[in-house]
Amino acid sequence: MAGTKIEISGPKSLFSNEFLCNSTSLLNSRKTRTVEVRKPVAATAALTAVQIVAKLIELDSVKVIPETPVQFTVSGQVTVEYDAMEQMKELMFNWWDSSKTTIDAQRGVFLQLVSSDIDPRTGKAKVSKEAILDWSRDLPINADKFVTHEVQFLVDGNFGVPGAILVTNKNSKELYLKSITLEGFLHFDCQSWVQPEKLHPEKRIFFTNKAYLPNETPMGLRELREKELRELRGNGEGVRVLSDRIYDYDVYNDLGNPDKGLEFARPVLGGQRRPYPRRCRTGRPSTKSDPKSESPVNETTPMYVPRDEAFGGEKKRSVDAGSWKGMMNNLFPFFKHSTESDSVNSFADINNLYKESRNHSNFPVESTADAFKFDPPNIVSRDASCCLRDDEFGRFTLAGMNPISIERLKVFPPVSKLDPSIYGPTQSALREEHLISHLDGMSVQTAIERKKLFTLDYHDAFLPFLNSINAHPDRKAYATRTIFLLTQMGTLKPIAIELSLPSTNPFKPSKQVVTPPVDATTCWQWQLAKAHVCSNDSGAHELIQHWLRTHACMEPFIIAARRHLSAMHPVLKLLHPHMRYTMDINARARELLVSAGGIIESLFSTKECSMEITSFAYKNWRFDMESLPADLIRRGVAELDPTEPHGIKLLIEDYPYANDGLLI
């Protein structure tokens, strides 16, 4: 039966105003639909019932021309990052292949839009045809770091709102995909490396910037959301390579190298005996000497971090430059020490190190000379002997590198929590007669009740490891307790220091108390006691507060977030800027800093016990008590007060860490 074709023109713009308002309308764009209209059949009164039925059957059997699918193009801008060296290589290949007139099907980047809607016929998400971006052939000669390329997608009229993009890299090298924008306003913030298909056959999935909780995810994206998380979790097997994006857990079994010798063996951290945060699994094979220890990094099995967690080019150059300067800073003192027999015997020797390094600048290039300069603290520049003063010692406790160990003294004498059967008596050697002359007429109990006494207590943190530390001929350490008085001026004044060693001889006291000096002899005893406190404080800062609680404790949170929170999850979007690069930093630390014979063991008094000390401290760690103001209340340096702006009152008013921290 003949028909009449009617042309229907759609809207000129790709996304209608209705879509801009509610983001739920279908995509419409520059389209033409074909509709087949059947001619009416004249009704005849003379037709019998049988004839009418026959005519209806005839009409129903007529083949109606199906509606032609409406298709239109969607314009996109794809922004990728280029490396200058790689750019030149690509240009050479382009010139070599300039005689080719057609695009090689095995090259280029292939992209597909995925709709947020489900196709009712298949029950799957709607997917557009592949768009090809031959980014290597279209490489501009003077390209900036990021270059944007145009791409056209062909989609059906009932496609719906795009919610994801599938990307396949058929080039020979990885590419950094920064972002994709459709029609100028629908954004995909990719910020990820896309590996060649020959290495990772699975298509990469990128979602729009809109955040969804799992139960709010559009039907067309739910399967992709789960698929992406399964890929990120991996199967927990095999050796990870640098191009992988797999987040899995492992214990700290890669700090030692027993194949190199017994002195380089280190215990596994993680488990009941030595609890520790988990790190990212690398899958490197075990050592020959100890199947529980992972073999060290080498050329064939480099240190693995998921590809998107690794330093980018600019960040890597900045870190490498800092490492180079740090190495040069240590190179000159090392050579000086190697050529001179005298060791550091006084504070003056340390001050001279600053002076000599600053004057040692006979280099033709200014940057090279700067690499040999130490930057002394401003206060040292003004007063080289400032570190000897008690007021600076107290100020440093509140405003120095480790302002989060100071606590209010609540029990006197202090009591250890260590096992007395192993470490001796739990009670401190501190007595009231050590403090009474420094309390401005108060008794110890009165000073405690008035919240005037504070302590820096490293007794339990270091005592279990002192025998190992002091076994080294060039090491000497005590476990320290320091008592401070909060003066009327609001400053901390040290009034007693307890130095403890493990109890090995019942007839020889293992603890001694040092108080402010009264003569020349006690003056230097007091200075040496403060030096041991500073040594404990420096070790606690770098090993416990910095490495353990800032870096190591964050890694399992990052791994868990990547394994269980989709890129669309609002919580991951909030966490991502704070998690970035942490895993790469931690991996470098395990390789160079905290490993056996690494920088920490070489320079710190804690030597090979360094990481075990952090494990010992981790036993009593509480994540929910580390933030402000909970941390301040736990340490007793603040108390609840609803009349104060932050709901707490600081017992030490001039406490920069607390004052600044509460503001954020």
Instruction: Please report the pLDDT score of residue 378 as a whole number.
Output: 73
* Residue found by looking up tokens 């009164």 in the block: 45
Asked if residues 408 and 484 have their Cβ atoms less than 8 Å apart, the reply is no
pLDDT tens-place string over residues 444-500: 999 999 999 999 999 999 999 999 999 999 889 999 999 999 999 999 999 999 999
Residue 208 carries which DSSP code?
-
Asked if residues 104 and 187 have their Cβ atoms less than 8 Å apart, the reply is no
What separation, in Å, do the N-terminal and C-terminal C-alpha atoms of the chain show?
77
Q: Which residue numbers in the chain have pLDDT < 70?
A: 1-69, 83-106, 134-144, 313-377, 379-386, 506-509
Q: The domain 249-311+547-619: what is its CATH number?
A: 4.10.375.10
Q: What angle do CA 239, 243, 245 make, to 5 degrees?
A: 80
Select 70-90+106-210's CATH number: 3.30.465.10, 3.90.226.10, 3.30.70.1350, 2.60.60.20. 2.60.60.20
φ, ψ of residue 264 in degrees (nearest 5): -100, 5
* pTM score over 0.85: no
Alpha carbons 623 and 597: distance in angstroms, whole number:
30
Alpha carbons 232 and 9: distance in angstroms, whole number:
45
Q: Which amino acid is at 499?
A: L
Q: Which of 574, 580, 585 is nearest to 552 (CA)?
A: 585
Instruction: Please report the pLDDT score of residue 86 as a whole number.
Output: 58
Q: DSSP assignment of 111-123, as one string?
A: EEEEEEEEPTTTS
Alpha carbons 26 and 68: distance in angstroms, whole number:
17
List beta partners, residue 76. 151, 182
Instruction: Please report the pLDDT score of residue 415 as a whole number.
Output: 95
CB count within 10 Å of CB 15 equals: 21
Provide the 3-class DSSP secondary structure of residue 260.
helix
Alpha carbons 271 and 278: distance in angstroms, whole number:
10
Burial status of residue 172 (CB atoms within 10 A of its CB: 0-12, 13-18, 19 or more): middle
Q: Which of 124, 198, 128, 199 is nearest to 166 (CA)?
A: 128
pLDDT tens-place string over residues 21-43: 444 333 444 343 433 434 444 44
Pairing of strands 32-38, 3-9: antiparallel
- Chain center to CA of 304: 14
Burial status of residue 208 (CB atoms within 10 A of its CB: 0-12, 13-18, 19 or more): buried
Asked if residues 566 and 225 have their Cβ atoms less than 8 Å apart, the reply is yes
The residue ranges of every structural domain in the chain are 70-90+106-210, 249-311+547-619, 386-537, 623-663
Instruction: Please report the pLDDT score of residue 504 as a whole number.
Output: 77
Domain 386-537 in CATH 2.40.30.10? The answer is: no
Instruction: Please report the pLDDT score of residue 146 as a whole number.
Output: 84
Q: Kindly state the tokens that stand for 606.
A: 């804690």
Instruction: Please report the pLDDT score of residue 493 as a whole number.
Output: 97
Q: Kindly state the tokens that stand for 266.
A: 């280190």
Instruction: Please report the pLDDT score of residue 501 as a whole number.
Output: 94
